[in-house]
Amino acid sequence: MKHTSIFFLYVAQYMKTRLTYRVDMLMEIMSDLLFQAVNLIFILVVFGHTNMLSGWSKDEIIFIYGFFLVPFAIFGAFFNIWDFNERYIVKGEMDRILTRPVHSLFQIILERMELESLFGVLTGIAVMIYAGSRLDLGLSWYDPIVFLFMVLGGAFVYAGIFILLASISFWSDSRTSIMPMMYNIGNYGRYPVDIYNKVIRFVLTWILPFAFVGVYPSAYFLGREEWYGYAFLTPVMGAVFFGFAIFMWNIGVTKYRGAGN
């Protein structure tokens, strides 16, 4: 209960600060949309020259991309703590966080949220509806529930990886560019894993499981039965990675020494 009310207080505060520069916020949403459009245009242009991508059709690839946008938007809105090291460790802001009686990670998530990213959920669903209707995909009564679990699983996979990376800064506060690298690796998950070689496929499935954010869960909705096993693993992977990340974070916090003055 306490956490919920804190959450909404932060949201209200956030809206106030964002609405100060309305034009800029609008531009930011527009540039997000533009960014999503660029990836779609890429897919469309590419399929102007080929019909199949390792056995996947154009609409299937578009569907996968649409699905990917949804968990990615949730991740971007709440778990986008790529500047954690610089902002909280190097500048000593973590001291302030630790003096307050709420879990440290929860506070940081609230401080760093970017709610305008949630727009991506709408774009993603729109893209999926477009691709889905062209593919004549049927929808059962339980599909929305499955969808919810898949999306949360995907978002937690992303969140888990980034929280794990952020936790590294508790042990080593030197600047690294692992975070931007992860964004780029994350892009691998937008396309069917069968186009990559075995090593990359293994990494994307078990080590940096970005495939669970795009291809695997989408395979369920696309009725690709050969991938069902992986598809249903999505929520499990999300829970395991997120749980492990929180566990490492909690250990890390005890190692925090403070760098401030």
Partner 1 sequence: MGKYLEMIRVRFLMMLAYRTNYYSGILIYSINIGAYYFLWNAIYGGKGEIEGLSVIQMTTYVAVAWMARAFYFNNIDREIAQEIKEGKVAVEFIRPYHYLLMKTMQGLGEGIFRLSFFSIPGMVIVSLVFPIEFSAAFSTWVFFMIAIILSFIVNTQINLLTGVMTFFFFNNDGLIRAKRVVIDLFSGLLLPISFYPGWAQNVMDFLPFQAISYIPSMIFTEGFTGSAVWEAILFQLVWAVILILPIQALWVIAKKRLIVQGG
Q: Which residues bind partner 1 (CB under 8 A)?
A: 21, 23-28, 30-31, 34-35, 38, 41-42, 45-46, 48-50, 52-54, 175-178, 180-181, 184-185, 187-188, 191, 195-197, 200
Choice between 12 and 45, CB closer to partner 1 = 45
CB of 234 vs partner 1, minimal distance in Å = 22
Choice between 2 and 49, CB closer to partner 1 = 49
CB of 182 vs partner 1, minimal distance in Å = 10
- On whether the CB atoms of residues 234 and 217 are closer than 8 A, the answer is yes
CB of 194 vs partner 1, minimal distance in Å = 8
Give CA–CA dist 63/24, Å, rounded: 30
3-state secondary structure of 62: helix
CB of 125 vs partner 1, minimal distance in Å = 22
Among candidates 98, 113, 103, which has minimal Cα distance to 17?
113
Angle at which helix 58-78 crosses helix 143-171, to 10 degrees, equals 50
Using alpha carbons only, what angle is made at residue 35 by residues 145 and 19, rounded to the nearest 5 degrees?
Answer: 80
**Identity of the residue numbered 146:** V
CB of 196 vs partner 1, minimal distance in Å = 5
Choice between 153 and 189, CB closer to partner 1 = 189
CB of 32 vs partner 1, minimal distance in Å = 8
- Sign of the four-CA dihedral 124, 128, 129, 130: positive
| Biggest distance spanned by C-alpha atoms of the chain | 62
Choice between 133 and 172, CB closer to partner 1 = 172
Concatenating the DSSP letter of every residue in 183-242 gives: HHHHGGGGS-GGGS-HHHHHIIIIIS-GGGTTHHHHHHHTT-GGGHHHHHHHHHHHHHHH
Choice between 137 and 203, CB closer to partner 1 = 203
- On whether the CB atoms of residues 163 and 245 are closer than 8 A, the answer is yes
CB of 46 vs partner 1, minimal distance in Å = 5
Choice between 105 and 161, CB closer to partner 1 = 161
Residue with tokens 């991508």: 53
CB of 33 vs partner 1, minimal distance in Å = 9
How many CB atoms lie under 10 A from the CB of residue 178? 14
Choice between 197 and 254, CB closer to partner 1 = 197
Choice between 35 and 171, CB closer to partner 1 = 35
